[in-house]
Protein backbone atom coordinates (compact mmCIF):
# COMPACT_ATOMS: atom_id res chain seq x y z
CA UNK A 1 0.00 0.00 0.00
CA UNK A 2 1.50 3.32 -1.09
CA UNK A 3 1.40 6.62 0.75
CA UNK A 4 0.23 9.78 -0.98
CA UNK A 5 3.84 10.86 -1.43
CA UNK A 6 4.82 7.54 -2.98
CA UNK A 7 1.89 7.78 -5.39
CA UNK A 8 3.06 11.23 -6.48
CA UNK A 9 6.68 10.12 -6.93
CA UNK A 10 5.75 6.98 -8.85
CA UNK A 11 3.44 8.88 -11.21
CA UNK A 12 5.95 11.72 -11.69
CA UNK A 13 8.67 9.24 -12.60
CA UNK A 14 6.32 7.26 -14.87
CA UNK A 15 5.54 10.47 -16.76
CA UNK A 16 9.26 11.28 -16.98
CA UNK A 17 8.86 14.57 -15.15
CA UNK A 18 11.62 16.06 -13.05
CA UNK A 19 11.10 17.29 -9.50
CA UNK A 20 11.78 20.85 -10.64
CA UNK A 21 9.16 20.66 -13.40
CA UNK A 22 6.41 19.50 -11.08
CA UNK A 23 7.49 21.84 -8.29
CA UNK A 24 7.36 24.80 -10.70
CA UNK A 25 3.80 23.88 -11.72
CA UNK A 26 2.73 23.64 -8.08
CA UNK A 27 4.70 26.82 -7.27
CA UNK A 28 6.76 25.27 -4.47
CA UNK A 29 10.47 24.64 -4.03
CA UNK A 30 11.65 21.29 -5.36
CA UNK A 31 13.07 20.47 -1.92
CA UNK A 32 9.54 20.77 -0.51
CA UNK A 33 8.17 18.49 -3.22
CA UNK A 34 10.91 15.98 -2.46
CA UNK A 35 9.92 16.04 1.22
CA UNK A 36 6.25 15.54 0.26
CA UNK A 37 7.21 12.52 -1.82
CA UNK A 38 9.22 11.07 1.09
CA UNK A 39 6.41 11.72 3.58
CA UNK A 40 8.43 14.26 5.53
CA UNK A 41 6.09 17.13 4.77
CA UNK A 42 2.34 17.32 4.25
CA UNK A 43 1.04 19.19 1.20
CA UNK A 44 -1.69 21.80 1.43
CA UNK A 45 -5.06 21.13 -0.16
CA UNK A 46 -4.12 23.58 -2.92
CA UNK A 47 -0.88 21.66 -3.55
CA UNK A 48 -2.77 18.37 -3.80
CA UNK A 49 -5.14 19.86 -6.38
CA UNK A 50 -2.24 21.14 -8.48
CA UNK A 51 -0.31 17.87 -8.15
CA UNK A 52 -3.34 15.88 -9.26
CA UNK A 53 -3.71 18.17 -12.25
CA UNK A 54 -0.13 18.00 -13.53
CA UNK A 55 0.19 14.26 -12.84
CA UNK A 56 -3.24 13.36 -14.26
CA UNK A 57 -4.31 11.79 -10.96
CA UNK A 58 -7.83 11.74 -9.58
CA UNK A 59 -7.98 14.73 -7.23
CA UNK A 60 -10.44 13.12 -4.83
CA UNK A 61 -8.43 9.89 -4.61
CA UNK A 62 -5.20 11.80 -3.97
CA UNK A 63 -6.88 13.89 -1.29
CA UNK A 64 -8.19 10.71 0.36
CA UNK A 65 -4.69 9.23 0.35
CA UNK A 66 -3.18 12.22 2.12
CA UNK A 67 -6.00 12.47 4.67
CA UNK A 68 -5.71 8.75 5.42
CA UNK A 69 -1.92 9.09 5.72
CA UNK A 70 -2.39 11.85 8.29
CA UNK A 71 -4.85 9.79 10.32
CA UNK A 72 -2.85 6.56 10.11
CA UNK A 73 0.42 8.15 11.23
CA UNK A 74 -1.31 9.94 14.09
CA UNK A 75 -2.92 6.83 15.61
CA UNK A 76 -0.77 3.92 14.40
CA UNK A 77 0.92 3.45 17.79
CA UNK A 78 -2.34 3.41 19.74
CA UNK A 79 -3.60 0.09 21.10
CA UNK A 80 -7.21 0.80 20.18
CA UNK A 81 -6.62 2.49 16.81
CA UNK A 82 -9.04 0.33 14.82
CA UNK A 83 -11.85 0.75 17.33
CA UNK A 84 -11.20 4.49 17.50
CA UNK A 85 -11.46 4.72 13.71
CA UNK A 86 -14.86 3.05 13.80
CA UNK A 87 -16.12 5.50 16.41
CA UNK A 88 -14.59 8.42 14.50
CA UNK A 89 -16.42 7.33 11.35
CA UNK A 90 -19.72 7.49 13.22
CA UNK A 91 -18.82 10.91 14.61
CA UNK A 92 -17.91 12.24 11.16
CA UNK A 93 -21.27 11.08 9.79
CA UNK A 94 -23.06 12.71 12.71
CA UNK A 95 -21.16 15.99 12.35
CA UNK A 96 -21.82 16.11 8.61
CA UNK A 97 -25.52 15.47 9.15
CA UNK A 98 -25.80 18.26 11.74
CA UNK A 99 -24.02 20.71 9.44
CA UNK A 100 -26.52 19.91 6.70
CA UNK A 101 -29.45 20.57 9.04
CA UNK A 102 -30.59 16.95 9.12
CA UNK A 103 -30.61 16.66 12.91
- Tens-place pLDDT, residues 12-53: 999 999 999 999 999 999 999 999 999 999 999 999 999 999
21 part of a folded domain: yes
pLDDT in tens, 55-87: 999 999 999 999 999 999 899 999 999 999 999
Q: Residue 99: pLDDT band by 50, 70, 90 thresholds? A: confident
Q: What is the DSSP-derived secondary structure letter of residue 78?
A: -
Q: In this structure, are residues 103 and 95 in contact, taking their beta carbons and an 8 Å threshold? A: no
**Cβ-Cβ contacts under 8 Å for 49 (sequence gap 6 or more):** 59
> Measuring CA to CA, which residue among 51, 59, 56, 64 is closest to residue 25?
51
Domain hosting residue 9, numbered range: 4-76
What CA dihedral angle connects 40, 69, 64 and 28, to 10 degrees? -10
| CATH number reported for the structural domain that contains residue 50 in this entry | 1.10.260.40
Number of domains observed in the structure of the chain: 1
Say if 81 falls within a structural domain. Answer: no
Q: Is residue 101 scored above 70 in pLDDT?
A: no
Amino acid sequence: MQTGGQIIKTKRETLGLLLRQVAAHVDIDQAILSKIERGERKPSKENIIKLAEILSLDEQELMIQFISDKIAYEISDEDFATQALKVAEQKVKYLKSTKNGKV
